[in-house]
Amino acid sequence: MDTEKPLTYEDLQAVAEHIRTKTSYRPTIGIICGSGLGGLADSVKKADILEYSTIPHFPESTVPGHDGKLVIGELEGKPVVCMKGRFHSYEGYPMWKVTAPVRVMALLGVKTLIVTNAAGGINSTFNKGDFMIIKDHINMVGMAGKHPLVGPNMDKFGPRFNSMERAYDAELGKLVRTVGKDIGLSDTIKEGVYCMVSGPSYETTAELKLLQCIGADAVGMSTAPEVVVARHAGLRVLGISLITNMTSINAQPDDNVVTNHEEVLETGKQRAEDCQRLVKETVKRMT
């Protein structure tokens, strides 16, 4: 378990300055790649690539499907910084460390954050391989006290009590729908509420029924902390979940549905090209 003291504002500034010395790009868009979606980072052109191990205070990404590289370059002609692999609290990292890269992005000049993730489908109208525009989230982990803003507030980023109403930018969500229609993906573009649980165990059927009752359409083990910190720093946020599997809540007793990470990665691989097209064209049209 990590026992380091949380990074100070000055520490985060030093990390951002270190990154600036390694690239001439000044990114305005940040992208976080979810499990199996690292191909998004491969779409970045003329990239400067930094291994997480070479960046001060960056932890290691230990989960299959998360390569552990910071990719800085151009995507559709716009300067971006892309995390090819994210960090999770179930790896043993405290929430301040999971979310520190988002604050570094803000210090680098990022104004818009695009978060992607792999999620299990709870909504029975969804299908494996759908893309869900996140319209809101339920941060079960944060509500239980494991929250990234616990501790002294960093006033230079945002207020002590920041609002999470309309955390996900409606205009950006609308843009994704338009892009999806234009590139022939409208049948696979859905919208819903993402629920974060801590993991690493997948949910029991009873737990899934609870999440369904409280309004969750999909469930995963990331994203909410990063979005909280992004909004605290005033960033616009677009969230997209790839529904990599349908959870057991919709299965029949004899179906023997067993969720596993291999299925998550395989669906990510199958949908990688469409995911890249969707995000690239969205970035291209962003103003």
pLDDT tens-digit series, residues 208-234: 999 999 999 999 999 999 999 999 999
Q: Is residue 4 part of a domain?
A: no
Q: Is residue 197 part of a domain?
A: yes
Q: Is residue 183 part of a domain?
A: yes
Residue 232 known to be catalytic: no
Residue 88 known to be catalytic: yes
Q: Is residue 3 part of a domain?
A: no
Q: Is residue 59 part of a domain?
A: yes
Number of domains within the chain: 1
Residue 57 known to be catalytic: no
pTM: 0.93
Residue 66 known to be catalytic: yes
1 — pLDDT class (breaks 50, 70, 90): very low
- Catalytic member of 61, 83, 91, 218: 91
The Cα 211–Cα 180 span in angstroms is: 28
Q: Which domain, by its residues, includes 179?
A: 9-285
261 — pLDDT class (breaks 50, 70, 90): confident
Residue 245 known to be catalytic: yes
- Catalytic member of 43, 123, 139, 222: 222
Q: Is residue 1 part of a domain?
A: no
118 — pLDDT class (breaks 50, 70, 90): very high
- Residue 205 is part of a domain; what is its CATH number? 3.40.50.1580
Predicted pLDDT of residue 287: 85
Q: Is residue 106 part of a domain?
A: yes
Residue 230 known to be catalytic: no
33-68 pLDDT, tens digit each: 987 778 888 889 999 999 999 999 988 776 665 578
In the chain, % of residues over pLDDT 90: 79
Are 215 and 129 contacting, i.e. CB atoms less than 8 angstroms apart?
no
Residue 261 known to be catalytic: yes
